[in-house]
Structure 1
Amino acid sequence: MERKSDIQNEARDFQVISPSAKALLLLKGITNVPFARTAAELVSLPDTYEPEFQNKDIAFWKRVVHFEERYWSVDQLLSQLDTSNVLELSSGFSFRGLDLVTRKDVHYTDTDLPQLISQKKELVGQLTTRLDLQLKGKLSMQPLNALDEGQFTEIESSLPEGPVTVVNEGLLMYLDVEEKRRLCANIHRMLKNRGGCWLTGDIYTRTQLERLAGNEDPLKDLTDQQHIEERMFGSFEQAEQFFEESGFRVDKVADANFNRLSSIGYLLSLLSSEQLSQLEATPPFRATWRLKIN
Protein backbone atom coordinates (compact mmCIF):
# COMPACT_ATOMS: atom_id res chain seq x y z
CA MET A 1 0.00 0.00 0.00
CA GLU A 2 1.31 3.47 -0.86
CA ARG A 3 2.15 5.72 2.01
CA LYS A 4 -0.18 8.69 2.34
CA SER A 5 2.71 11.07 2.97
CA ASP A 6 4.26 10.13 -0.40
CA ILE A 7 0.98 10.66 -2.23
CA GLN A 8 0.36 14.07 -0.70
CA ASN A 9 3.91 15.39 -0.99
CA GLU A 10 3.74 17.47 -4.16
CA ALA A 11 7.26 18.82 -3.68
CA ARG A 12 9.18 15.54 -3.36
CA ASP A 13 12.76 16.06 -4.52
CA PHE A 14 13.11 14.09 -7.74
CA GLN A 15 16.71 15.23 -8.27
CA VAL A 16 17.79 12.28 -6.10
CA ILE A 17 16.91 10.00 -9.00
CA SER A 18 19.54 11.49 -11.30
CA PRO A 19 22.60 9.55 -10.00
CA SER A 20 21.05 6.43 -11.50
CA ALA A 21 21.35 8.00 -14.95
CA LYS A 22 25.15 8.09 -14.73
CA ALA A 23 25.34 4.60 -13.21
CA LEU A 24 23.26 3.20 -16.06
CA LEU A 25 25.34 5.03 -18.66
CA LEU A 26 28.54 3.45 -17.34
CA LEU A 27 26.82 0.08 -17.44
CA LYS A 28 25.53 0.59 -20.99
CA GLY A 29 28.97 1.71 -22.08
CA ILE A 30 29.89 -1.95 -22.24
CA THR A 31 27.20 -2.58 -24.88
CA ASN A 32 26.43 -1.50 -28.44
CA VAL A 33 23.74 0.97 -27.33
CA PRO A 34 24.29 4.05 -29.54
CA PHE A 35 26.78 6.59 -28.18
CA ALA A 36 26.92 4.92 -24.75
CA ARG A 37 30.63 4.01 -24.92
CA THR A 38 31.80 7.47 -26.00
CA ALA A 39 29.48 9.19 -23.51
CA ALA A 40 30.73 6.94 -20.70
CA GLU A 41 34.28 7.92 -21.59
CA LEU A 42 33.37 11.62 -21.49
CA VAL A 43 31.56 11.52 -18.13
CA SER A 44 34.42 9.52 -16.60
CA LEU A 45 37.01 12.22 -17.31
CA PRO A 46 39.61 12.93 -16.00
CA ASP A 47 39.64 9.20 -15.23
CA THR A 48 39.76 6.59 -17.96
CA TYR A 49 36.61 4.59 -18.60
CA GLU A 50 37.41 0.90 -18.72
CA PRO A 51 34.52 -1.40 -19.73
CA GLU A 52 34.43 -4.45 -17.48
CA PHE A 53 34.64 -7.09 -20.18
CA GLN A 54 36.73 -9.29 -17.86
CA ASN A 55 34.13 -9.18 -15.08
CA LYS A 56 33.17 -12.75 -14.12
CA ASP A 57 30.22 -11.83 -11.90
CA ILE A 58 27.03 -13.38 -13.27
CA ALA A 59 24.86 -10.79 -11.48
CA PHE A 60 26.80 -8.00 -13.21
CA TRP A 61 26.16 -9.44 -16.66
CA LYS A 62 22.50 -10.06 -15.87
CA ARG A 63 22.20 -6.34 -15.19
CA VAL A 64 23.99 -5.42 -18.41
CA VAL A 65 21.78 -7.77 -20.44
CA HIS A 66 18.65 -6.48 -18.72
CA PHE A 67 19.28 -2.81 -19.45
CA GLU A 68 20.54 -3.42 -22.98
CA GLU A 69 17.45 -5.49 -23.77
CA ARG A 70 15.18 -2.81 -22.30
CA TYR A 71 16.75 -0.16 -24.52
CA TRP A 72 16.38 -2.17 -27.73
CA SER A 73 12.83 -3.26 -26.89
CA VAL A 74 11.74 0.40 -26.86
CA ASP A 75 13.60 0.98 -30.12
CA GLN A 76 11.86 -2.06 -31.59
CA LEU A 77 8.41 -0.52 -31.10
CA LEU A 78 9.61 2.93 -32.13
CA SER A 79 11.03 1.61 -35.40
CA GLN A 80 7.63 0.19 -36.31
CA LEU A 81 6.01 3.62 -36.31
CA ASP A 82 5.97 6.23 -39.05
CA THR A 83 6.47 9.12 -36.66
CA SER A 84 8.05 12.53 -37.13
CA ASN A 85 7.37 13.93 -33.65
CA VAL A 86 8.78 12.19 -30.54
CA LEU A 87 8.71 13.31 -26.91
CA GLU A 88 10.92 11.35 -24.51
CA LEU A 89 10.31 11.73 -20.78
CA SER A 90 13.05 11.45 -18.14
CA SER A 91 15.55 10.28 -20.72
CA GLY A 92 18.59 10.40 -18.46
CA PHE A 93 21.89 9.82 -20.24
CA SER A 94 20.23 7.87 -23.02
CA PHE A 95 20.89 9.08 -26.54
CA ARG A 96 18.00 7.53 -28.43
CA GLY A 97 17.00 10.97 -29.68
CA LEU A 98 20.48 11.83 -30.91
CA ASP A 99 20.71 8.48 -32.67
CA LEU A 100 17.33 8.92 -34.35
CA VAL A 101 17.94 12.46 -35.64
CA THR A 102 21.21 11.34 -37.24
CA ARG A 103 19.23 8.77 -39.24
CA LYS A 104 15.83 10.34 -39.89
CA ASP A 105 14.14 13.69 -40.39
CA VAL A 106 12.26 13.74 -37.09
CA HIS A 107 11.63 16.33 -34.40
CA TYR A 108 12.80 14.72 -31.15
CA THR A 109 12.18 16.48 -27.84
CA ASP A 110 14.39 15.06 -25.10
CA THR A 111 13.40 15.96 -21.52
CA ASP A 112 14.52 15.43 -17.96
CA LEU A 113 14.96 17.39 -14.75
CA PRO A 114 16.76 20.74 -15.15
CA GLN A 115 20.14 19.78 -13.69
CA LEU A 116 20.44 16.59 -15.70
CA ILE A 117 19.21 18.02 -19.00
CA SER A 118 21.72 20.87 -18.65
CA GLN A 119 24.55 18.34 -18.27
CA LYS A 120 23.17 16.33 -21.15
CA LYS A 121 23.12 19.32 -23.49
CA GLU A 122 26.83 19.77 -22.89
CA LEU A 123 27.45 16.07 -23.38
CA VAL A 124 25.47 15.96 -26.65
CA GLY A 125 27.49 18.92 -27.89
CA GLN A 126 30.72 17.07 -27.12
CA LEU A 127 29.47 13.90 -28.81
CA THR A 128 28.38 15.83 -31.90
CA THR A 129 31.78 17.50 -32.20
CA ARG A 130 33.92 14.47 -31.37
CA LEU A 131 32.04 12.14 -33.73
CA ASP A 132 31.40 14.84 -36.37
CA LEU A 133 27.69 14.00 -36.42
CA GLN A 134 25.46 15.27 -39.20
CA LEU A 135 21.83 15.65 -38.15
CA LYS A 136 18.94 14.93 -40.49
CA GLY A 137 16.32 15.89 -37.90
CA LYS A 138 16.03 18.29 -34.99
CA LEU A 139 16.93 17.42 -31.39
CA SER A 140 15.48 19.70 -28.73
CA MET A 141 16.50 19.20 -25.10
CA GLN A 142 14.17 20.76 -22.55
CA PRO A 143 13.81 20.67 -18.74
CA LEU A 144 10.63 18.96 -17.59
CA ASN A 145 9.14 17.43 -14.49
CA ALA A 146 6.76 15.06 -16.28
CA LEU A 147 4.33 15.12 -13.32
CA ASP A 148 3.86 18.89 -13.49
CA GLU A 149 0.74 19.64 -15.52
CA GLY A 150 1.77 23.20 -16.29
CA GLN A 151 5.24 22.24 -17.47
CA PHE A 152 3.83 19.37 -19.52
CA THR A 153 1.33 21.66 -21.24
CA GLU A 154 4.12 24.13 -22.00
CA ILE A 155 6.25 21.39 -23.57
CA GLU A 156 3.27 20.22 -25.62
CA SER A 157 2.76 23.71 -27.00
CA SER A 158 6.37 23.77 -28.19
CA LEU A 159 6.01 20.60 -30.26
CA PRO A 160 5.26 20.63 -34.00
CA GLU A 161 1.64 20.10 -34.97
CA GLY A 162 0.31 16.58 -35.36
CA PRO A 163 0.49 13.24 -33.53
CA VAL A 164 3.13 12.65 -30.88
CA THR A 165 4.97 9.47 -29.93
CA VAL A 166 5.72 9.59 -26.20
CA VAL A 167 8.66 7.47 -25.05
CA ASN A 168 9.95 6.61 -21.62
CA GLU A 169 12.38 4.09 -20.19
CA GLY A 170 13.31 4.04 -16.52
CA LEU A 171 10.69 6.31 -14.92
CA LEU A 172 7.54 4.54 -13.73
CA MET A 173 9.29 2.41 -11.12
CA TYR A 174 10.27 5.59 -9.28
CA LEU A 175 6.65 6.74 -9.01
CA ASP A 176 4.01 5.72 -6.51
CA VAL A 177 0.44 5.02 -7.64
CA GLU A 178 -0.80 8.60 -7.45
CA GLU A 179 2.27 9.90 -9.25
CA LYS A 180 1.76 7.32 -11.99
CA ARG A 181 -1.83 8.53 -12.32
CA ARG A 182 -0.67 12.14 -12.68
CA LEU A 183 1.78 11.12 -15.38
CA CYS A 184 -0.91 9.13 -17.18
CA ALA A 185 -3.29 12.11 -17.01
CA ASN A 186 -0.70 14.42 -18.59
CA ILE A 187 0.08 11.99 -21.39
CA HIS A 188 -3.59 11.09 -21.97
CA ARG A 189 -4.59 14.72 -22.28
CA MET A 190 -1.88 15.38 -24.86
CA LEU A 191 -2.62 12.27 -26.92
CA LYS A 192 -6.33 13.07 -26.87
CA ASN A 193 -5.50 16.53 -28.24
CA ARG A 194 -2.84 15.43 -30.71
CA GLY A 195 -3.17 11.74 -31.47
CA GLY A 196 -0.27 9.33 -31.24
CA CYS A 197 0.80 6.71 -28.74
CA TRP A 198 2.97 6.01 -25.70
CA LEU A 199 5.90 3.57 -25.66
CA THR A 200 7.03 2.56 -22.19
CA GLY A 201 9.72 0.10 -21.19
CA ASP A 202 8.68 0.35 -17.55
CA ILE A 203 6.16 -2.46 -17.15
CA TYR A 204 7.96 -3.99 -14.18
CA THR A 205 6.44 -6.57 -11.87
CA ARG A 206 7.64 -7.17 -8.34
CA THR A 207 10.50 -9.63 -8.25
CA GLN A 208 13.78 -10.33 -6.53
CA LEU A 209 15.99 -7.32 -7.16
CA GLU A 210 19.16 -9.36 -6.84
CA ARG A 211 18.48 -10.29 -10.46
CA LEU A 212 19.38 -6.69 -11.29
CA ALA A 213 21.78 -5.66 -8.55
CA GLY A 214 24.23 -7.43 -6.29
CA ASN A 215 24.48 -6.85 -2.57
CA GLU A 216 27.33 -4.37 -2.90
CA ASP A 217 26.17 -2.26 -5.79
CA PRO A 218 25.23 1.43 -6.14
CA LEU A 219 22.16 0.50 -8.17
CA LYS A 220 20.87 -1.63 -5.30
CA ASP A 221 21.45 1.25 -2.87
CA LEU A 222 19.39 3.46 -5.15
CA THR A 223 16.57 0.93 -5.51
CA ASP A 224 16.41 0.59 -1.74
CA GLN A 225 16.37 4.37 -1.19
CA GLN A 226 13.63 4.92 -3.77
CA HIS A 227 11.48 1.95 -2.60
CA ILE A 228 11.47 0.74 -6.20
CA GLU A 229 10.36 -2.80 -5.43
CA GLU A 230 7.15 -1.66 -3.74
CA ARG A 231 6.43 0.82 -6.56
CA MET A 232 6.39 -1.87 -9.25
CA PHE A 233 3.18 -3.47 -10.49
CA GLY A 234 2.00 -6.61 -8.75
CA SER A 235 1.58 -8.42 -12.08
CA PHE A 236 1.22 -7.72 -15.79
CA GLU A 237 -2.55 -8.11 -15.37
CA GLN A 238 -2.52 -5.48 -12.64
CA ALA A 239 -0.48 -3.17 -14.87
CA GLU A 240 -2.94 -3.57 -17.73
CA GLN A 241 -5.86 -2.84 -15.40
CA PHE A 242 -4.08 0.27 -14.08
CA PHE A 243 -3.62 1.68 -17.57
CA GLU A 244 -7.18 0.82 -18.56
CA GLU A 245 -8.42 2.77 -15.54
CA SER A 246 -6.22 5.66 -16.71
CA GLY A 247 -7.78 5.63 -20.18
CA PHE A 248 -5.25 3.53 -22.11
CA ARG A 249 -5.22 0.16 -23.81
CA VAL A 250 -2.28 -2.09 -24.64
CA ASP A 251 -1.85 -1.89 -28.40
CA LYS A 252 1.41 -3.80 -28.86
CA VAL A 253 3.95 -5.72 -26.76
CA ALA A 254 7.60 -5.74 -27.78
CA ASP A 255 9.09 -9.12 -28.57
CA ALA A 256 11.90 -10.30 -26.31
CA ASN A 257 14.93 -10.91 -28.52
CA PHE A 258 18.07 -11.56 -26.54
CA ASN A 259 20.00 -12.78 -29.57
CA ARG A 260 20.40 -9.19 -30.78
CA LEU A 261 22.25 -8.15 -27.60
CA SER A 262 25.97 -7.49 -27.67
CA SER A 263 26.22 -8.51 -24.00
CA ILE A 264 24.41 -11.85 -24.09
CA GLY A 265 27.49 -13.86 -25.06
CA TYR A 266 29.39 -12.70 -21.98
CA LEU A 267 26.56 -13.83 -19.70
CA LEU A 268 26.07 -17.18 -21.41
CA SER A 269 29.78 -17.94 -21.21
CA LEU A 270 29.60 -17.81 -17.40
CA LEU A 271 26.53 -20.00 -16.91
CA SER A 272 26.56 -23.70 -16.22
CA SER A 273 23.98 -25.89 -17.95
CA GLU A 274 21.91 -25.91 -14.78
CA GLN A 275 22.09 -22.14 -14.38
CA LEU A 276 21.11 -21.66 -18.03
CA SER A 277 18.11 -23.94 -17.58
CA GLN A 278 17.06 -22.00 -14.49
CA LEU A 279 17.41 -18.71 -16.35
CA GLU A 280 15.36 -19.97 -19.29
CA ALA A 281 12.65 -21.17 -16.90
CA THR A 282 12.45 -17.82 -15.12
CA PRO A 283 9.22 -16.01 -16.08
CA PRO A 284 9.62 -12.46 -17.45
CA PHE A 285 9.25 -9.66 -14.94
CA ARG A 286 9.46 -6.69 -17.35
CA ALA A 287 7.81 -5.76 -20.63
CA THR A 288 7.72 -2.89 -23.11
CA TRP A 289 4.25 -1.81 -24.21
CA ARG A 290 2.78 0.48 -26.80
CA LEU A 291 -0.24 2.19 -25.30
CA LYS A 292 -3.03 4.06 -27.03
CA ILE A 293 -5.88 5.99 -25.49
CA ASN A 294 -9.33 4.38 -25.39
Structure 2
Amino acid sequence: MLRDYSTISPSARALLLMKGVTDIPYAKEAAELMMRPEPYEPDYDNKDARLWARILHFEARYFSINEMLEDIDAHNILELSSGFSFRGLEMTTAKNHLHYIDTDLPGIIEAKKDIIEDLLDDVRKHSKLELMQLNVLDEEQFSKVIRHFEKGPVTIVNEGLLMYLEPEEKERLCEIIHHILRKCGGCWITGDIYFKKDLSKTLKRKDALGEFTATHRIDEKKFDDEQSARDFFDRMGFVIDKVNEIDYKELSAYPYFVENLTPEQVEEFRKIGKVRETWRLKAR
Protein backbone atom coordinates (compact mmCIF):
# COMPACT_ATOMS: atom_id res chain seq x y z
CA MET A 1 0.00 0.00 0.00
CA LEU A 2 1.34 3.43 -0.96
CA ARG A 3 1.01 5.80 1.98
CA ASP A 4 0.27 9.50 1.44
CA TYR A 5 2.92 11.74 3.00
CA SER A 6 1.68 14.95 1.39
CA THR A 7 0.42 16.32 4.72
CA ILE A 8 3.94 16.55 6.17
CA SER A 9 4.89 20.21 6.66
CA PRO A 10 6.81 21.92 3.84
CA SER A 11 9.77 22.70 6.12
CA ALA A 12 10.09 19.08 7.30
CA ARG A 13 9.84 17.86 3.71
CA ALA A 14 12.44 20.38 2.54
CA LEU A 15 14.89 19.33 5.25
CA LEU A 16 14.52 15.63 4.48
CA LEU A 17 14.87 16.19 0.73
CA MET A 18 18.11 18.08 1.37
CA LYS A 19 19.45 15.32 3.61
CA GLY A 20 18.60 12.78 0.92
CA VAL A 21 21.69 13.74 -1.09
CA THR A 22 23.99 12.90 1.84
CA ASP A 23 25.25 9.68 3.43
CA ILE A 24 22.92 10.08 6.42
CA PRO A 25 21.40 6.60 6.91
CA TYR A 26 17.85 6.18 5.56
CA ALA A 27 17.61 9.83 4.44
CA LYS A 28 17.53 9.02 0.72
CA GLU A 29 15.12 6.11 1.18
CA ALA A 30 12.77 8.23 3.33
CA ALA A 31 12.93 11.08 0.80
CA GLU A 32 11.94 8.63 -1.94
CA LEU A 33 8.94 7.50 0.11
CA MET A 34 7.89 11.07 0.83
CA MET A 35 8.00 12.04 -2.85
CA ARG A 36 5.89 9.13 -4.12
CA PRO A 37 4.42 8.71 -6.65
CA GLU A 38 6.86 11.27 -8.13
CA PRO A 39 10.49 10.15 -8.36
CA TYR A 40 13.06 11.62 -5.99
CA GLU A 41 15.90 12.89 -8.13
CA PRO A 42 18.71 14.52 -6.11
CA ASP A 43 20.35 17.35 -8.02
CA TYR A 44 24.07 16.79 -7.57
CA ASP A 45 24.75 19.25 -10.40
CA ASN A 46 23.35 22.21 -8.45
CA LYS A 47 25.96 24.99 -8.44
CA ASP A 48 24.60 26.96 -5.48
CA ALA A 49 27.30 26.85 -2.78
CA ARG A 50 24.83 28.30 -0.25
CA LEU A 51 22.61 25.26 -0.71
CA TRP A 52 25.54 22.88 -0.30
CA ALA A 53 26.62 24.79 2.81
CA ARG A 54 23.22 24.12 4.36
CA ILE A 55 23.31 20.47 3.37
CA LEU A 56 26.82 20.15 4.80
CA HIS A 57 25.64 21.82 8.00
CA PHE A 58 22.85 19.29 8.59
CA GLU A 59 25.06 16.35 7.66
CA ALA A 60 27.73 17.53 10.12
CA ARG A 61 25.14 17.99 12.86
CA TYR A 62 23.85 14.45 12.41
CA PHE A 63 27.22 12.71 12.40
CA SER A 64 28.63 14.87 15.22
CA ILE A 65 26.07 13.30 17.55
CA ASN A 66 26.91 9.82 16.27
CA GLU A 67 30.59 10.47 17.00
CA MET A 68 29.75 11.49 20.56
CA LEU A 69 27.68 8.32 21.02
CA GLU A 70 30.58 6.16 19.87
CA ASP A 71 32.62 7.40 22.84
CA ILE A 72 30.26 6.01 25.47
CA ASP A 73 28.64 2.68 26.28
CA ALA A 74 25.02 3.80 25.91
CA HIS A 75 22.19 1.28 26.27
CA ASN A 76 19.24 3.62 27.00
CA ILE A 77 19.01 6.45 24.46
CA LEU A 78 16.25 9.06 24.31
CA GLU A 79 16.14 11.37 21.29
CA LEU A 80 14.17 14.59 21.64
CA SER A 81 12.34 16.31 18.78
CA SER A 82 13.92 13.96 16.26
CA GLY A 83 11.79 15.02 13.30
CA PHE A 84 12.43 12.90 10.22
CA SER A 85 15.82 11.71 11.38
CA PHE A 86 16.25 7.95 11.62
CA ARG A 87 19.15 7.55 14.03
CA GLY A 88 17.05 5.25 16.21
CA LEU A 89 16.37 2.94 13.29
CA GLU A 90 20.03 3.05 12.26
CA MET A 91 21.38 2.23 15.72
CA THR A 92 18.89 -0.46 16.73
CA THR A 93 19.40 -2.22 13.41
CA ALA A 94 23.19 -2.19 13.79
CA LYS A 95 23.64 -2.80 17.52
CA ASN A 96 22.57 -5.30 20.15
CA HIS A 97 21.19 -4.67 23.63
CA LEU A 98 20.11 -1.11 22.88
CA HIS A 99 16.82 0.52 23.85
CA TYR A 100 16.19 3.64 21.76
CA ILE A 101 13.17 5.89 22.29
CA ASP A 102 12.51 8.32 19.45
CA THR A 103 10.22 11.24 20.35
CA ASP A 104 8.51 14.25 18.83
CA LEU A 105 5.10 15.89 18.71
CA PRO A 106 2.10 13.70 17.73
CA GLY A 107 1.74 14.57 14.03
CA ILE A 108 5.40 13.93 13.27
CA ILE A 109 5.57 10.70 15.26
CA GLU A 110 2.55 9.20 13.52
CA ALA A 111 3.92 10.03 10.06
CA LYS A 112 7.34 8.74 11.07
CA LYS A 113 5.91 5.42 12.24
CA ASP A 114 4.47 4.91 8.75
CA ILE A 115 7.79 5.77 7.11
CA ILE A 116 9.69 3.35 9.35
CA GLU A 117 7.19 0.59 8.57
CA ASP A 118 7.89 1.18 4.89
CA LEU A 119 11.66 1.29 5.45
CA LEU A 120 12.02 -1.65 7.78
CA ASP A 121 13.11 -4.85 6.10
CA ASP A 122 14.57 -6.78 9.02
CA VAL A 123 13.72 -7.75 12.58
CA ARG A 124 15.79 -6.42 15.47
CA LYS A 125 16.06 -9.36 17.85
CA HIS A 126 18.34 -7.84 20.46
CA SER A 127 17.55 -4.11 20.39
CA LYS A 128 14.34 -2.16 20.86
CA LEU A 129 13.07 0.96 19.07
CA GLU A 130 10.06 2.87 20.39
CA LEU A 131 8.45 5.95 18.86
CA MET A 132 6.61 8.04 21.42
CA GLN A 133 4.89 11.40 21.60
CA LEU A 134 6.59 13.89 23.87
CA ASN A 135 6.25 17.54 24.72
CA VAL A 136 9.74 18.13 26.12
CA LEU A 137 8.50 20.87 28.47
CA ASP A 138 6.00 18.56 30.16
CA GLU A 139 7.92 17.02 33.07
CA GLU A 140 5.25 14.44 33.88
CA GLN A 141 5.14 13.22 30.27
CA PHE A 142 8.94 13.26 30.12
CA SER A 143 9.15 11.10 33.26
CA LYS A 144 6.66 8.58 31.85
CA VAL A 145 8.83 8.16 28.77
CA ILE A 146 11.96 7.67 30.89
CA ARG A 147 10.22 4.93 32.88
CA HIS A 148 10.10 2.80 29.71
CA PHE A 149 13.85 2.23 30.08
CA GLU A 150 15.38 -0.42 32.29
CA LYS A 151 17.39 0.90 35.24
CA GLY A 152 20.70 2.42 34.28
CA PRO A 153 22.22 5.58 32.78
CA VAL A 154 20.20 7.44 30.18
CA THR A 155 21.73 9.22 27.20
CA ILE A 156 19.56 12.09 25.96
CA VAL A 157 20.28 13.42 22.46
CA ASN A 158 18.86 16.14 20.26
CA GLU A 159 19.83 17.82 17.01
CA GLY A 160 17.62 20.91 16.76
CA LEU A 161 15.43 22.02 19.66
CA LEU A 162 16.89 24.77 21.82
CA MET A 163 16.84 27.23 18.94
CA TYR A 164 13.04 27.04 18.90
CA LEU A 165 12.68 27.81 22.60
CA GLU A 166 12.35 31.11 24.45
CA PRO A 167 14.88 31.71 27.30
CA GLU A 168 12.47 30.57 30.01
CA GLU A 169 11.62 27.45 27.97
CA LYS A 170 15.31 26.61 27.62
CA GLU A 171 15.65 26.87 31.36
CA ARG A 172 12.63 24.64 31.92
CA LEU A 173 14.02 21.96 29.59
CA CYS A 174 17.39 22.11 31.32
CA GLU A 175 15.76 21.70 34.73
CA ILE A 176 13.89 18.59 33.55
CA ILE A 177 16.96 17.01 31.95
CA HIS A 178 19.18 17.90 34.92
CA HIS A 179 16.75 16.22 37.30
CA ILE A 180 16.66 13.05 35.16
CA LEU A 181 20.44 12.81 34.82
CA ARG A 182 20.97 13.36 38.55
CA LYS A 183 18.50 10.54 39.23
CA CYS A 184 19.50 8.04 36.52
CA GLY A 185 23.01 9.00 35.56
CA GLY A 186 24.08 9.49 31.97
CA CYS A 187 24.60 12.52 29.77
CA TRP A 188 22.99 14.93 27.31
CA ILE A 189 24.39 15.20 23.79
CA THR A 190 23.08 18.26 21.98
CA GLY A 191 23.95 19.46 18.49
CA ASP A 192 21.93 22.57 19.25
CA ILE A 193 24.59 25.01 20.47
CA TYR A 194 23.91 27.73 17.91
CA PHE A 195 25.56 31.15 17.91
CA LYS A 196 24.11 34.36 16.54
CA LYS A 197 25.73 35.26 13.24
CA ASP A 198 24.86 37.58 10.39
CA LEU A 199 23.98 35.09 7.68
CA SER A 200 21.85 37.45 5.60
CA LYS A 201 24.20 37.54 2.61
CA THR A 202 25.89 34.18 2.78
CA LEU A 203 23.32 31.58 3.77
CA LYS A 204 19.82 33.06 3.63
CA ARG A 205 17.57 31.44 1.05
CA LYS A 206 13.95 32.13 0.18
CA ASP A 207 12.52 28.64 0.50
CA ALA A 208 10.42 26.60 2.92
CA LEU A 209 13.23 26.31 5.47
CA GLY A 210 14.06 29.99 5.19
CA GLU A 211 10.45 30.95 5.77
CA PHE A 212 10.24 28.54 8.70
CA THR A 213 13.35 30.08 10.27
CA ALA A 214 11.95 33.60 9.94
CA THR A 215 8.48 32.70 11.20
CA HIS A 216 9.83 31.04 14.33
CA ARG A 217 12.43 33.78 14.98
CA ILE A 218 15.11 31.13 15.22
CA ASP A 219 18.02 33.52 14.75
CA GLU A 220 16.85 35.56 17.74
CA LYS A 221 16.77 32.50 20.00
CA LYS A 222 20.36 31.40 19.44
CA PHE A 223 23.08 32.02 22.01
CA ASP A 224 24.91 35.33 21.65
CA ASP A 225 28.26 33.54 21.45
CA GLU A 226 30.10 30.50 22.78
CA GLN A 227 30.81 32.08 26.18
CA SER A 228 27.16 32.97 26.73
CA ALA A 229 26.25 29.34 25.97
CA ARG A 230 28.85 28.09 28.44
CA ASP A 231 27.60 30.50 31.09
CA PHE A 232 24.00 29.40 30.52
CA PHE A 233 24.65 25.68 30.97
CA ASP A 234 26.92 26.33 33.94
CA ARG A 235 24.11 28.29 35.59
CA MET A 236 21.70 25.41 34.86
CA GLY A 237 23.97 22.92 36.63
CA PHE A 238 25.77 21.25 33.71
CA VAL A 239 29.43 20.69 32.94
CA ILE A 240 30.78 20.24 29.42
CA ASP A 241 32.19 16.73 29.13
CA LYS A 242 33.27 17.08 25.50
CA VAL A 243 32.97 19.37 22.48
CA ASN A 244 32.83 17.56 19.16
CA GLU A 245 35.36 18.43 16.46
CA ILE A 246 33.99 16.87 13.28
CA ASP A 247 36.12 16.61 10.15
CA TYR A 248 33.99 18.27 7.48
CA LYS A 249 36.24 16.93 4.74
CA GLU A 250 35.01 13.42 5.53
CA LEU A 251 31.36 14.32 4.85
CA SER A 252 29.66 13.47 1.56
CA ALA A 253 28.44 17.03 0.86
CA TYR A 254 31.87 18.61 1.33
CA PRO A 255 33.21 18.13 -2.25
CA TYR A 256 30.06 19.68 -3.76
CA PHE A 257 30.30 22.64 -1.38
CA VAL A 258 33.98 23.32 -2.15
CA GLU A 259 33.64 22.84 -5.90
CA ASN A 260 30.94 25.49 -6.18
CA LEU A 261 32.43 28.21 -3.97
CA THR A 262 33.32 31.51 -5.61
CA PRO A 263 36.38 33.42 -4.31
CA GLU A 264 34.02 35.98 -2.79
CA GLN A 265 32.08 33.28 -0.94
CA VAL A 266 35.27 31.76 0.44
CA GLU A 267 35.98 35.05 2.19
CA GLU A 268 32.37 35.44 3.33
CA PHE A 269 32.29 32.00 4.94
CA ARG A 270 35.66 32.62 6.58
CA LYS A 271 34.32 35.80 8.18
CA ILE A 272 31.25 34.03 9.55
CA GLY A 273 33.26 31.45 11.47
CA LYS A 274 31.68 28.74 13.58
CA VAL A 275 27.87 28.87 13.73
CA ARG A 276 27.21 25.71 15.79
CA GLU A 277 28.79 23.12 18.05
CA THR A 278 27.82 19.74 19.49
CA TRP A 279 28.37 19.34 23.24
CA ARG A 280 28.16 16.41 25.61
CA LEU A 281 26.88 17.62 28.96
CA LYS A 282 26.71 16.03 32.38
CA ALA A 283 24.77 17.10 35.45
CA ARG A 284 26.95 18.69 38.11
- Residue aligning to 2:34: 43
Matched, 1:250 2:237: no
The structure 2 residue matched to 1:176, chosen from 166, 170, 193, is: 166
Matched, 1:230 2:220: yes
Aligned mates of 2:283, 2:264 — CA distance in 1: 44
Deviations 1:212-271 (A, max 9, x none): 441x21111001100001100001110111111111111100013101110110111112
Aligned mates of 2:176, 2:264 — CA distance in 1: 46
Q: CA RMSD in A?
A: 1.7
- Residue aligning to 1:111: 103
- Residue aligning to 2:128: 138
Q: Following TM superposition, by how much is the alpha carbon of 1:22 offset from its aligned partner in structure 2, in angstroms? A: 2.5
Q: Equivalent pairs: percent with the same residue?
A: 47
Aligned mates of 1:173, 1:152 — CA distance in 2: 20
Q: How high is the TM-score relative to the length of structure 2?
A: 0.92
Aligned mates of 2:104, 2:154 — CA distance in 1: 17
The structure 2 residue matched to 1:126, chosen from 112, 118, 131, is: 118
- Residue aligning to 1:289: 279
Count how many residue pairs are aligned between Structure 1 and Structure 2. Answer: 275
Contact 1:197–1:290 under 8 Å retained in 2: yes
The structure-2 alpha-carbon separation of the partners of 1:120 and 1:225, relative to structure 1 and needing over 3 Å to count, comes to same
Q: Following TM superposition, by how much is the alpha carbon of 1:135 offset from its aligned partner in structure 2, in angstroms? A: 5.5
Contact 2:49–2:258 under 8 Å retained in 1: no
Contact 1:87–1:164 under 8 Å retained in 2: yes
- Residue aligning to 1:12: none
Aligned mates of 1:212, 1:261 — CA distance in 2: 19
* SS of equivalent residue, structure 1 residue 140: strand
Aligned mates of 2:123, 2:52 — CA distance in 1: 31
Contact 2:53–2:203 under 8 Å retained in 1: yes
The structure-2 alpha-carbon separation of the partners of 1:225 and 1:282, relative to structure 1 and needing over 3 Å to count, comes to closer
Contact 1:87–1:167 under 8 Å retained in 2: yes
Listed as ranges, the gaps of 5+ residues in structure 2 are 1-7
Deviant stretches of 4+, over 6 Å? none
Contact 1:188–1:293 under 8 Å retained in 2: yes
Matched, 1:220 2:210: yes
* SS of equivalent residue, structure 1 residue 40: helix
* SS of equivalent residue, structure 1 residue 91: coil
Structure 2 letter corresponding to 1:65 = L
- Residue aligning to 1:3: none
Contact 2:76–2:155 under 8 Å retained in 1: yes
Aligned mates of 2:209, 2:17 — CA distance in 1: 12
Aligned mates of 2:23, 2:181 — CA distance in 1: 32
Contact 2:197–2:272 under 8 Å retained in 1: no
* SS of equivalent residue, structure 1 residue 158: coil
Matched, 1:204 2:194: yes
Listed as ranges, the gaps of 5+ residues in structure 1 are 1-16
Aligned mates of 1:147, 1:19 — CA distance in 2: 25
Which runs of structure 2 are paired with 1:186-205 in the superposition (5 Å)? 186-205=176-195
Q: Following TM superposition, by how much is the alpha carbon of 1:21 offset from its aligned partner in structure 2, in angstroms? A: 2.8
- Residue aligning to 2:155: 165
Contact 1:18–1:92 under 8 Å retained in 2: no
